[in-house]
Each structure stands twice: as C-alpha cells, then as structure tokens.
Amino acid sequence: MSDHKVYPVSAEWAASAWADEAKYNEMYAESVNNPDKFWGEQARATIDWIKPFHQVKNTSFEPGNVSIKWFEDGTLNVAANCLDRHLATRGDQTAIIWEGDDPSSDEHISYRDLYERVGKFANALKAQGVKKGDVATLYMPMIPEAAVAMLACARIGAVHSIVFGGFSPDALGVRVEESGSSIIITSDEGRRGGRRVPLKKNVDAAIAGMDNPASVKSVVVVKCTGGDVAWDTDRDHWYHELVAGQSVDCPAEEMGAEDPLFILYTSGSTGKPKGLEHTTGGYIVYAAMTHKYVFDYKDGDVYWCTADVGWVTGHSYIVYGPLANGGTTVMFEGVPTYPDASRFGRVIEKHKVNQFYTAPTAIRALMQKGDDVLGDSDLSSLKLLGSVGEPINPEAWNWYNDIMGKGECPVVDTWWQTETGGIMIVPLPGATAAKPGSASRPFFGVQPALVDNEGNLIEGSGDGNLVILDGWPAIARSCWGDPARYEETYFSTFKGMYFTGDGARRDDDGYYWITGRVDDVINVSGHRMGTAEVESSLVAHAAVAEAAVVGYPHAIKGQGIYVYVTLQAGVEATDELRKALVGHVRTDIGPIASPDLIQWAPGLPKTRSGKIMRRILRKIAANEHDQLGDTSTLADPAVVDDLVANRMNR
Ligand code: WT7
C-alpha cells in the first residue's frame, strides 16, 4: 500500500517537535534494546518518586508465568504528581477548562484550586471510611467533580472504577458487585445534548437489583442539575455537605509502583465484562510521556480530548497524562451536535484549543453535514489533530486534515486499547510521515508483530494477527479478581505474546494498518461491545429463542449492530416487536448497545456440531453474500438462502 498518499513531516514540525525522525529512531532503538536504561531515565525525568526505584522492568509473557512489574521497588503518588508538584511553578495556571453542555457555561480551574478541591474530597472520602486499596465506583457526568473524585481516590490510595454514565442500572450493578465496591460517587443527573440523564435514579435501581444491596454503604451525590432524587438518609450523602468544613490538606498516600490505581471494565468476546487493573508507576510514566510526545504538548498549550472519563481515553488523555505534564486540559460535558453541529468549532475558538483529539465517528458525523459545518469558527489556534477508537477511513482522515486542520496540522491516528493503558502505535508529529488510514509506527518500547493463525511470525509486509512481543510500562496487570482470565484472554492464543484481538497489515515501509477486531468484539462509534453481551440480553427476552449478533459497516458509527433473531414458536414477527427488542437491549445494557438492524431468522447457519457460523452472518450483514466462502460444513444450507433473501437493507 505504499502507493497511498504520504504526508511528509514539515520542516517546522521536525525542527520544533519533541522528537524528529532521527530522535525517534534513536530513542526507539534504545527503548527496545536497553529498556532498563531508557525507561529508568524517562521515569525519573517525567515523574516525582517518593522512594526511588532500583528495579526498572521485570516482565514475563510466558504462559503459566505471566508477570508484569515496572519500577517495583519505587513509591509515588499519582495525585501528587498531577497536582502538588505543579503548585510552586504553576499554581495559578488553568489545569482544567470545563465546557458545559450549555454553551454559556464554562469554568477555569487552576492547579491550586484543583489541588484544594481534591484535598477536601479526599478527606471527605476518608471520613466515609474509604481506605487505601478500597474500590470506589464513579458513575458521573463530565463535570469537574469527576476529575476531582479520580484524583481524590488516587491521593488516598483508593482504586477507582469508573462506569460510563450511559450504562444501564443493570450494567452498573454488575460492575459494582464484581469490583467489590462499597461506595458509589454520582450526581443527581447529568446533562447531554440538552437532555438530562437520571444518574442517581440509575444508581438506586442498580443497588436495588444487586444480590446484596447492603454491600453499598455509601452513595455520594454531586448536585449538578438540581433535579429531584430519591433519598436514603442512611446511605446517601450530598457531595457539597461532605466537603464543607473539610481541610484542604490531605497527605498523599505513599503508593508502591505496582499498587492498583484504577480498574476499568471493558467488553470481551465472551461472557461478562472484564475489569482491567492498571497500576501506579508504569501507568503514569507512560500516560505522561505519550501525552507529551504524541500531541507534542508544550507548556501553555490548550489541549482538548473529547472523550468521556468513562473510557480509558478519558483516564489517560483528559486527566492523568495532561495533568502529570502540568498541562491545560479541556473537559467537555456535551456532544458534538448540540446546540448544533458547529459546537466543536465554537469550543476550539472560544478556548483557543491547540491540540484536538477525537474519534472517527464524530468526524464522520460532522463531515456528513458539509464542509461549512463548523460555521465561521476561527480554528487558527489548532496545531495538531488526533484520532482514536477505530480505524479512520481515508475520506474522514482527509476531511479532518483539510477542513479542520486546513492542511496545516499533523493528524495523529492513535491505536491503543483499554488494556494497553496508553497510545501504542502512532505517527509522532515531528518524526513520522502520515499515511491516511495507517496508525503507522510503534511508540517507544512497543514491539508490535504480526502472526498467522498458528502463531508463526510474519516477516516483511503482510497481513496477520496483531501481537505485542514484550512488556511496556502501562499494560494492564490483571483482570480484577481473576488473574487466570487475564492470562487466558491475552497470553494463551499466541504463546509468549500479548494478543490484541485486532488484525493488521504491515506495508513495505513497516507501517501498521489496523484492519479491525478478529474476535467477537465489535466497535460501535469507537465503543467496544461484546457480541455475546448483546446476545445474552436478547435471549433473556421472552419472545426470543435464539439470537446472533454481528457488526456491519456503518457510515457514521464505523460498525453498526446487526441482529439475527429466531423467535419462540407462535410469536409473531412485527415491527412493534423489533422496537421492543431494541428498547429491551437499551434498558438492559445501555443506549450504546442498541441494535441498528434486526432480521427475523427462521434458522441460523450452524455447523453439524451446532456452532453458529458467524463468518456467514457477517458476510450477509455486510451485503457480501457473494463471498460466503466454504459453506460445506453447514448442517442446513437452505437457512442461508432465506437469510440472504430477507437481509435488512441499510
Ligand atoms: C479497540 C480498543 C484506545 C481507546 C479507545 C478504544 C480499536 C482503537 C484505533 C485506531 C484502529 C482502533 C481497536 C482496539 N481501535 N484505536 N486508531 N485504529 N482501531 O479503547 O474500547 O479498549 O477499544 O479499538 O480495535 O482493539 P477500547
């Protein structure tokens, strides 16, 4: 694919960026040839340690002996690195620019102010009995208190587990139970696109639905909209009442580098969501360093990542990376299309944003509305554009580059995952020529490789399963409470390697092109969804006998959710039932899991041993039924003809 258009690094960028090509090559070589020296130096330069580490890298991907430790004998505190150490030099500098859903509401929060808010809330958490090692669930809108709560947990050594505010009560309840969390921090309601999200009500329902509701001892509620909420006087507390009268001084807990910082649940190809555990030292070193090099973040820049703190992108690139670097980070409560589709442009102009980081699905949604969608907004502050969450198709890349970047901003396509903690494959803006659609080259310390289905390494250009051969500081350490599942999921498919679940192609220049998931995970608007989760929700509905879920190409979302449903005998297939099933999944999991298309399937294509042949279902959903491949193992080939004849038009 070297015939693709290449956007070389400009001379100005090569001269001014933290790394040009020569520097990248030199640092990359050192990072993989001499990781102890490289990461030791980086970790000392980037982060303040309480007790210095002596041991740098200590990792093994060997089956039966997977063990990942970085800087293990060092101690530090992440909140102190994000706040305290900046007070002397930048106490009055804005740490967070909060931009409300309502365009007339915003707030600038200085490092000193943030430090004080975190100190008070950290003391309030302690007063609630929260101790080092306890898990606190956050179910929050995008308001400053979300960042305050994260940092307050980090300050006292509590482990936060953020559940995206778009998840249903059931999904929340499962995550609270699985994490063993006895405290939930939420708000009365959230605001999104002019609507209100009943967060406290969802929390009440989540707790009521748990096997042991009494395990949740305390619910802390931020007053956000002032909307009505039900109240349990023994359990519920207003945030503002808890922090009133608390001291701003809260000593930062001395944490071991390998103590957990947070857990974050994500979908896998099977069963229930996994709580990926991230630890303290390696994570913060890597988050800070990637934020600096990938976005070429310089003192005084205003940086905006449009993600939600409910996803890993919000953890690493709204809160931890930017604040560890003493940066100014924009936190946006709203959506790209409210009050109208010019919103991104308006916010960029209003806050003079220099680096902008969003998802292809948002770019495609804007692109569809025409080249003047951003109105007359002044975008001249922009220096760099980033993309994350799914492959960015070249059309969207070009639009981003031409219309938002006016052809003058490097576009950095960042490939990574909840599990990786930080950006893994990316063209550094001063170092790597960009090819639209390719995440290009590995970040420092990252050793990607391609293997065939038998696990043989593919040399040179080719297609295969994307694996990572050796450890980097921010890789997840475990699945919370289930280390065996961690090893099984990521290190058993290809022995001795971390398996990403993605497929990729490597071109003649060594650039990586991510082709998408090769497992039963789909990526809807940059949100990861296990098809098994949607299927189990559907079969729990009384009308459904069997369901199979696959992704299909969707112009805005990247992938849409295509569902094949076999109804129970005697149930009539109606449009009302279709709507009811969509509503059922929305309530059960959350709006992000809503099926886009439901096809009634009298039967599903199965092998003689009864296994559903998803490959065939994917082809039909993608309108590629002329390429069904080998169907000789089907138990009943007629099933496929029916599905093809009745496929849903998009
Ligand atoms: C999956 C991880 C990393 C934060 C957001 C998603 C896909 C992510 C890219 C990209 C192609 C991408 C992969 C990956 N993905 N970024 N730049 N190009 N694909 O985190 O929910 O853990 O999902 O998102 O398929 O495995 P996540």
pLDDT tens sequence across 57-116: 999 999 889 999 999 999 999 999 999 999 999 999 999 999 999 999 999 999 999 999
Which is the closest atom of ligand 1 to the Cα of 313? 4
pLDDT tens sequence across 315-345: 999 999 999 999 999 999 999 999 999 999 9
Statement: residue 635 has pLDDT above 90? no
The mean predicted confidence, pLDDT, of the chain is 96
The answer to whether 267 is a known ligand-binding residue is no
Statement: residue 609 has pLDDT above 50? yes
Statement: residue 427 has pLDDT above 50? yes
pLDDT tens sequence across 189-212: 999 999 999 999 999 999 999 999
Taking the centre of ligand 1 as the mean of its atom positions, its distance from the CA of residue 393, in whole angstroms, is 14
Distances (CA, A) of 286 to 40, 158, 198, 200, 585: 12, 21, 35, 34, 37
Q: Which residue CA neighbors atom 2 of ligand 1 most closely?
A: 417
Which is the closest atom of ligand 1 to the Cα of 501? 26
Lowest mean pLDDT among 165-179, 425-439, 598-612: 598-612
Taking the centre of ligand 1 as the mean of its atom positions, its distance from the CA of residue 528, in whole angstroms, is 8
Ligand 1 binding pocket includes 397 (Cβ within 6 Å): no
pLDDT band at 602 (very low <50, low <70, confident <90, very high): very high
pLDDT band at 271 (very low <50, low <70, confident <90, very high): low
Ligand 1 binding pocket includes 389 (Cβ within 6 Å): yes
pLDDT at 2: 42
CA 148/CA 323 separation, integer angstroms: 12
- Which of 358, 443, 528 has the most ligand 1 atoms within 8 A of CB, as the residue to mutate? 528
The answer to whether 574 is a known ligand-binding residue is no
pLDDT tens sequence across 490-548: 999 999 999 999 999 999 999 999 999 999 999 999 899 999 999 999 999 999 999 99
pLDDT at 649: 79
Ligand 1 binding pocket includes 439 (Cβ within 6 Å): yes
pLDDT band at 238 (very low <50, low <70, confident <90, very high): very high
pLDDT at 1: 43
Task: Estimate the crossing angle of helix 35-46 against helix 281-294, to 10 degrees.
Answer: 80
Q: What is the mean pLDDT of residues 430-450?
A: 98
Between 533 and 268, the higher pLDDT residue: 533
Statement: residue 147 has pLDDT above 80? yes
Statement: residue 246 has pLDDT above 60? yes
**Whole-complex ipTM:** 0.99
pLDDT at 404: 97
CA 576/CA 593 separation, integer angstroms: 19
Contact status, residue 390 vs residue 360, Cβ threshold 8 Å: yes
Q: Which residue CA neighbors atom 3 of ligand 1 most closely?
A: 417
Beta bridge partners of 266: 274
pLDDT at 257: 98
Lowest mean pLDDT among 10-24, 166-180, 248-262, 628-642: 628-642
Ligand 1 binding pocket includes 418 (Cβ within 6 Å): yes
The answer to whether 319 is a known ligand-binding residue is no
Distances (CA, A) of 622 to 35, 441, 595: 44, 30, 15
Ligand 1 binding pocket includes 274 (Cβ within 6 Å): no
- Residue 416: helix, strand or coil by DSSP? coil
pLDDT band at 628 (very low <50, low <70, confident <90, very high): confident
Contact status, residue 166 vs residue 592, Cβ threshold 8 Å: yes
pLDDT band at 650 (very low <50, low <70, confident <90, very high): low
Statement: residue 269 has pLDDT above 80? no
CB-count exposure of residue 2 (10 Å: 0-12, 13-18, 19+)? exposed
Taking the centre of ligand 1 as the mean of its atom positions, its distance from the CA of residue 143, in whole angstroms, is 25
Ligand 1 binding pocket includes 312 (Cβ within 6 Å): yes
Q: Tell me the two tokens of residue 648.
A: 């849903």
Q: Which residue CA neighbors atom 20 of ligand 1 most closely?
A: 417
The answer to whether 313 is a known ligand-binding residue is yes
Contact status, residue 413 vs residue 440, Cβ threshold 8 Å: yes
Q: Tell me the two tokens of residue 21.
A: 């090509």
- 539-565 burial, b at 16+ Cβ within 10 Å, e below that, comes to eebebbebbbbbbbebeebbbbbbbbb
Which is the closest atom of ligand 1 to the Cα of 514? 11
Statement: residue 219 has pLDDT above 70? yes
Statement: residue 390 has pLDDT above 90? yes
CB-count exposure of residue 36 (10 Å: 0-12, 13-18, 19+)? exposed
Domains defined for the chain, CATH in brackets: 525-646 (3.30.300.30)
Statement: residue 179 has pLDDT above 50? yes
CA 390/CA 513 separation, integer angstroms: 11
Report pTM: 0.95
